[in-house]
Amino acid sequence: MNTRPDSFSERASMPPPGAARLAYSRTGQGEPLVLLHGQGLSRHSWDPIITELSGSRDVIAVDLPGHGESPRQPKGRGSAPADQAVAVGELLDELDLESVHVAGNSTGGWVALELGRLQRARTVTALSPAGLWRRKAPLYIRAAMRQTRLNARVIRRLAPNAPRSRLARALFMATASGHPLSLPYPPVH
């Protein structure tokens, strides 16, 4: 169901095969606002607020590297938030945007802060940003991320259609969502 107003046209871009370019959706008018999702999610996690934001902003919702429809980082590039911020900066270059307003949630919040450090952000709104620990990530965070990556690989091989099941999505996302049973499955384009 499209809840976006007819006066705004959404422009979506998919990365070509083998390219480092990130997938994004763009709609609205006004100053540019880049939205960055959390770990394991996609740009569609912002869908509930896109319509409202697009009334006063040029909204660019990005799939971070290795998420949604964006490819993983090219070989030799890292996947840390600082590396992801560089990839988002390259997208901004492609869109001919020197600096933008940025909002990010969780890992996306950390990437938003890194974009600020790179002086690519006019303003940064970081919602529950990851990475604010003093030294390295706590052991439980590192263990949970390793387990999540392992689960994704196993599920992708053994049961590629599992995320389409409401129960499987809820079990897989229980630690990342307050309402895992209500998580939608985005249609395949």
CB environment 133-163: b (16+ within 10 A), e (fewer): eeeeeeeeeeeeeeebeeeeeeeeeeeeeeb
Please write the tens of the pLDDT for every residue from 27-68: 999 999 999 999 888 999 999 999 999 999 999 999 999 888
3-state secondary structure the chain: CCCCCCCCCCEEECCCCCCCCCCEEEEECCEEEEEECCCCCCHHHHHHHHHHHHCCEEEEEECCCCCCCCCCCCCCCCCCHHHHHHHHHHHHHHCCCCCEEEEEECHHHHHHHHHHHCCCEEEEEEECCCCCCCCCCCHHHHHHHHHHHHHHHHHHHHCCCHHHCHHHHHHHHCCCCCCHHHCCCCCCC
- pLDDT value of residue 12: 56
Of the candidates 102, 118, 116, the residue with the CA atom closest to the CA atom of residue 32: 102
Please write the tens of the pLDDT for every residue from 140-167: 777 877 777 777 777 778 777 766 777 7
Tokens 């697009």 correspond to what residue? 54
Read off the pLDDT of each residue in 157-179 and give the average, rounded to a whole number. 73
Global confidence as pTM: 0.73
CA 122, distance to chain mean position in Å, is 19
11-13 and 24-28 strand pairing: antiparallel
Tokens 């499955």 correspond to what residue? 185
- Residue 132 has which token pair? 């604010």
Domains assigned to the chain: 1-132 (3.40.50.1820), 138-189 (no CATH)
CA separation, residue 112 to residues 8, 82, 100, 120 (Å)? 25, 9, 10, 9
- pLDDT value of residue 124: 98
Instruction: Evaluate if residue 135 carries a pLDDT over 60.
Output: yes
Average pLDDT score, the chain? 82
